[in-house]
Structure 1
């Protein structure tokens, strides 16, 4: 197989596995059986392992040397840590976006908000998670700060995963908060934007932590979870 072929298969495995994790087809803490997954995706172990390393860098997978891999447990502590980071970097991104937004560069954020409204009205939980994560990513892009965008990139998948796992949260409330945040950015009001952004992140913290107790696994030790080998039924 050529290196280009391996790269293509790695990307295929990466996208397929990432989608399964974010859409919670694979639950937090669930063991990933490489042999079974390679057969399902019709790829060899080499590109699959490369995909798993990419996902581990994004915090979606935990690799255990000589034992395999599992979906990151994403415990309440992990959720708390993510919100601690969001309260800082997302507020910074929003303030910078308000400083740099104008009628020429607001288009992508405007279209993203429109997509979020449409998904909210249709009740499409999977799409709501996707567009809500994209909305935050567009704010970072609008901040026009390459270093901040690089720092945020590994968090984007975890944020989309969080939005999917917290789909019980009122999507209309989230959409209303995003609308208020958009209006503050469009008004080029950095101080108000920072205030709205912080309030938006904080408003989801308690709900997310409460819901995390429901999806958290009782065993979070990766070595114990990946202990032994599961055999297929004969």
Structure 2
């Protein structure tokens, strides 16, 4: 029985989403070798959707090609961490300033609820979901779709770091993290552009310090 294009896309999407999630949550750790035939057996599909899913992950930078060998889950280097947070420091303080100009009280209430959910989360995954929603939510308020997409990719990179080092993951619910998020919302409510910019800068610097410290434990 032949498989139509729609079914093949569905299989590819299932493999892609599963592999991507496993990479982000460190169930497939950096430098893990991925072989098409082994994955095909694991997922119970032909090599075609496996190959297509891996190509998507290569395009996004999560895996690299090893010619005539297979694919490798991309390693995480100190330089990667520095680049990720350098980019975040370039765009997030500017995004929060723009968000202040565009946001409504109701939208800031929603940001506050996200912080409440982050603090109340019962596990690290749930807390990371809310932390992601908070940072990406600010980009949404700034109404910059391209920056939103870039930021989501950077936040996903940070998410993988948190899962690779459990001590880092736990920090997402620590008082200092929650305090920064709450103070940022307060500065946005007060339309204090200088303070909001400063808080976001400080938050990014501290995140970089923590990630570099955590990377030595991987």
TM-score, normalised to structure 1's length? 0.82
Residue number in structure 2 paired with 1:101 = 103
SS at 1:188 equivalent: coil
CA distance in 2, matches of 1:14, 1:117: 31
CA distance in 2, matches of 1:71, 1:31: 7
Shift of 1:54: 2.1
Shift of 1:20: 0.9
Residue number in structure 2 paired with 1:219 = none
Match of 1:10 among 7, 12, 20: 12
Shift of 1:166: 4.5
CA distance in 2, matches of 1:188, 1:158: 30
For the 8 Å contact 2:88–2:151, the answer to whether it is kept is no
CA distance in 1, matches of 2:112, 2:5: 40
Residue number in structure 1 paired with 2:77 = 75
Q: Does residue 129 in structure 1 map to residue 128 in structure 2?
A: yes
Unaligned runs of 5+ in 1: 216-234
Could you say which structure has the greater relative contact order, defined with CA pairs below 8 angstroms and 6 or more residues apart? 1
Shift of 1:196: 0.5
Aligned residues: 212
Residue number in structure 1 paired with 2:201 = 198
SS at 2:107 equivalent: coil
Q: Does residue 211 in structure 1 map to residue 214 in structure 2?
A: yes
CA distance in 1, matches of 2:208, 2:68: 36
CA distance in 2, matches of 1:167, 1:96: 34
Moved more, 58-67 or 87-96: 58-67
Question: Taking structure 1 as reference, are residues 165 and 148 closer, same or farther at Cα in structure 2, changes over 3 Å only?
Answer: same
For the 8 Å contact 1:133–1:159, the answer to whether it is kept is no
CA RMSD of aligned residues (A): 2.0
Residue number in structure 2 paired with 1:226 = none
TM-score, normalised to structure 2's length? 0.87
Q: Which structure has the highest helix share of the two?
A: 2
Question: Taking structure 1 as reference, are residues 58 and 108 closer, same or farther at Cα in structure 2, changes over 3 Å only?
Answer: farther
SS at 2:216 equivalent: helix
For the 8 Å contact 2:108–2:185, the answer to whether it is kept is no
